[in-house]
Structure 1
Amino acid sequence: MSEGTYLILADYFFLIFHNLLIVFNLFGWIVKKWRRWHLACILLTFASWGILGIWYGFGYCPLTDWHWQVLRKLGEYDLPSSYVSYLLDRILGIRLSPNLVDALTVGSTLLALVASLWVNFRKK
């Protein structure tokens, strides 16, 4: 296979995997069997955003970084700083204010974290 084919496959891999990760981070706490995995995953997400964010900028995600590298090699430039902004535009054709997208992203992820903490540590 050519490099272009590998890059296209990598693009779709990141698109699918990252979307699944986002959905899992938002809703994985609902399924009882997944709750501990969800808590670990969402804590890792916040660690990436905050701890790695010290060096790379708040909200840093290695998946986004790697996907951007693939997209640049495919000739895409002027990519947004937010992966969620990119998804809204690519999949739904919706362009919202970057500040609004960031607020919705952080807010919904914080709600999912609170829900995860609640279902994992409440007294039964």
Structure 2
Amino acid sequence: MRIAAVTAALVAAGAALSFGSLPAEAATQCGRASWYQLGGKTANGERNNPNAMTAAHRKLPFGTRVRVENLKNGKYVVVRINDRGPFTGGRVIDVSRAAAQQLGMVKTGTAKVRIVVDGTAVKNSCPA
């Protein structure tokens, strides 16, 4: 009985120290980023602004701030999630044109990146 109570307490403490309601794999991700410049509205209802520091992610809640680092050149930017995507396999985030310019990836269209939910520690590194 005592072991079960201790186990339950440890599980609860681990959950409290995790990244809230975010899936653990979403706190730090590695993969390819692309950029987009669409008109109309984003998935959260905002007007799409290519000059804003925004991005699309499949699972992160709207309003989440994410640090996106280009692993090739070390440049990074903080963007706010306001849309859903990317819908192309192998990509983890779509960033606005303004964010892509700061990351140095407008000409190439994509870049290998590490994304970290703002305020969380990087738990693993991504190979460049």
Specify if TM > 0.5: no
Greater strand proportion: 2
Greater helix proportion: 1
Give TM-score, length-normalised by structure 2: 0.26
Give TM-score, length-normalised by structure 1: 0.26
